[in-house]
Amino acid sequence: MKLPRAMRINSARNGAKTQSAAQKIPLRFLRAFASLRKSFCLFDGIIFNRRSALIVVCSLPFAFPVPSPAQIVLSALEKTIGTQIPVPNITFEELKTKLASQDSSRYVLFDARPAEEYNVSHLARAIQIDPELPAEQFLAQYSDSLKNKNVVFYCSVGYRSSLFLRRVQRELQNRNVPAAFNLQGGIFRWYNEGNTVVDVRGPTDNVHPYDKFWGSLLKERKKTP
């Protein structure tokens, strides 16, 4: 099979440069997929290793519809983040079940986005934290209240929250936090699957898009007449 599109993302080989390159992968990855204009496509594979990441995309016509390009990109992005930043993840289905259970009080949610994004909407009961907050400051402020609690971090798509969780994960384990997770797909996935987000007035249909490009990954909700 002849592949019509291939892209190789090279990462640096020393430690400092590798971290910098890894932080750029999601945006470059998204822009590659955003160039797709086909209504039907097949993703042949996504292969990653420590030194380089190879993304192969096959675009072929089919007689049946597949999810929209934006939703395919979000799903592929979730896999990319999980590969590049390997932290424990919780899916929106799992979190929704936990929050509806009798043990919901054992879960503490942290929104790792700036206040301007949080104020547009967030998950109910989520606590806003700066995604650049130093780990020591976070632990000093919250660790005592998190004993015997399960912690979930989220952001727009899961990238910033995964980075934050990676910084504090070990210390949380040392401070009697049973489990800490990143919400896979972030608030974008949560919202796209029809779940409630809130602002200071209550439930809302608005989500901060981060910018026009990233906002294309959000599904538009039909307004109730």
Question: Domains (ranges, CATH) in the chain?
Answer: 5-84 (no CATH), 89-215 (3.40.250.10)
Which tokens go with 11? 């990462």
d(CA 147, CA 150): 9
pLDDT tier at 172, thresholds 50, 70, 90: very high
Res 19 pLDDT > 50: no
Q: At what angle do helices 135-142 and 159-174 cross, to 10 degrees?
A: 60
Res 26 pLDDT > 70: no
User: Residue 56: what are its φ and ψ, rounded to 5°?
Assistant: -120, 130
112: Cβ–Cβ under 8 A, 6 or more apart, which residues? Answer: 129, 130, 131, 153, 154, 155, 160, 161, 164
d(CA 36, CA 58): 10
Range scoring the smallest mean pLDDT among 14-18, 142-146, 196-200 = 14-18
